[in-house]
């Protein structure tokens, strides 16, 4: 069996695991119910023309990282603790296929949940008179799927590194707080404060803002701003009115993809060296 075949086998089985464990159903239900509530609330708004896509963007942006980390942080470590790897490695599946396959399977699940959750709002929104921009709708679905993939990579990377589900949960919560609440942006400022003799210089070096732009949530906000100026909210990052190169949408896309590679690559490297 080729590596591609073994990877495909593991992805298929891992997706089935999420179905057996009701994770797929739970995620679809959460997105669908929240989406229906949001479209109804938007239809009742007074003073503005109700629009579907911006309100879904704002709330689903807040929800997606939390759900991806919360649902998938134990995806690998749970198999380690319950002895499932004895069966998994009895198949023609290597450790690389486990890490990459888990990421691909869980990404498919979260993307399916996002897309279904958005699609079910369309007929309800049409009935309630909520405006829908098809191009913007498709773009937001793609953006949210990319965000889900990035934080699924964090979850799988964490799960490949730690040894217990408790540690995975704590680490996942730390990642969410670090990136979503923009604590990441304070790290280069703290370094600047220390290296400048415990005081801030009169002007902030550009590298501080560059490092801050590497936050996946900031990159996502910059990417969304490139899609549509109407998309705001959902993050604590505000796209600049006059962006420099590291605040451009293309750079934001590269940052998100880079985090995926780094998280999965680091998780695989550690998992490969771990005594199971």
Higher-pLDDT residue of 43, 151? 151
Residue 205 lies in a domain: no
Q: How many CB atoms lie within 10 A of CB 166?
A: 11
3-state secondary structure of 51: strand
In our burial notation (b when 16+ CB lie closer than 10 A, e otherwise), range 33-63 reads: ebbeebbeebeeeeeeebbbbbbbbbbbbeb
Q: What is the pLDDT of residue 55?
A: 92
* Structural domain boundaries enclosing 76: 3-180
Over the stretch 194-229, which tens digit does the pLDDT of each residue have?
Answer: 998 888 888 889 999 999 999 999 999 999 988 887
Rg (CA), the chain: 20
Residue 208 lies in a domain: no
Residue 192 lies in a domain: no
Q: In the beta sheet, which residues pair with residue 51?
A: 131
Distance CA 198, CA 204 (A): 14
Residue 267 lies in a domain: no
Backbone angles phi, psi at 131, to 5 degrees: -70, 140
Q: Which two tokens stand for residue 32?
A: 């669908």
Backbone angles phi, psi at 167, to 5 degrees: -65, -35
Over the stretch 37-96, which tens digit does the pLDDT of each residue have?
Answer: 999 999 988 667 889 999 999 999 999 999 999 999 999 999 888 878 877 777 778 889
Q: What is the pLDDT of residue 20?
A: 93
Residue 155 lies in a domain: yes
Alpha helices (runs of H) in the chain, residue ranges in sequence order:
3-20, 23-43, 52-72, 77-81, 85-88, 95-119, 121-128, 134-161, 165-180, 186-195, 206-212, 216-227, 249-272
> Which one, of 110, 104, 115, lies nearest residue 148 by Cα?
110
Higher-pLDDT residue of 259, 2? 259
Structurally, the chain folds into a number of domains equal to 1
Residue 90 lies in a domain: yes
> Interhelix angle for 165-180 vs 52-72, to 10°?
150
Q: In the beta sheet, which residues pair with residue 131?
A: 51
Residue 16 lies in a domain: yes
Residue 222 lies in a domain: no
């Amino acid at each position: 069996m080729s590596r591609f075949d073994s990877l495909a086998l593991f992805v298929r089985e891992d997706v089935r695991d999420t179905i057996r464990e009701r994770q797929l159903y739970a995620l679809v239900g959460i997105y669908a119910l929240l989406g229906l509530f949001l479209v109804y609330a938007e239809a009742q708004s007074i003073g503005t023309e109700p629009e579907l896509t911006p309100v879904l963007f704002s709330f689903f942006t807040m929800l997606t990282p939390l759900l991806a980390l919360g649902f998938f942080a134990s995806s690998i470590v749970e198999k380690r603790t319950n002895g499932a790897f004895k069966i998994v490695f009895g198949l023609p599946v290597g450790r690389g296929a486990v890490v990459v396959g888990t990421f691909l399977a869980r990404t498919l699940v979260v993307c399916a949940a996002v897309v279904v959750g958005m699609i079910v709002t369309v007929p309800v929104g049409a009935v309630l008179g909520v405006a829908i921009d098809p191009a913007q709708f498709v773009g937001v679905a793609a953006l949210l799927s990319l965000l889900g993939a990035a934080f699924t990579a964090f979850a799988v990377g964490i799960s490949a590194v730690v040894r217990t589900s408790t540690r995975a949960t704590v680490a996942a919560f730390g990642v969410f707080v670090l990136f979503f609440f923009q604590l990441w942006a304070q790290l280069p400022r703290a370094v600047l404060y220390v290296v400048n003799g415990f005081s801030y210089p009169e002007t902030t070096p550009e590298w501080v803002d560059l490092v801050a732009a590497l936050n996946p949530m900031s990159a996502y906000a910059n990417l969304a701003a490139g899609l549509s100026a109407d998309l705001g909210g959902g993050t604590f990052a505000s796209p600049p009115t006059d962006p420099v190169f590291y605040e451009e949408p293309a750079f934001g896309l590269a940052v998100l993809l880079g985090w995926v590679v780094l998280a999965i690559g680091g998780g695989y490297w550690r998992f490969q060296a771990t005594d199971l």
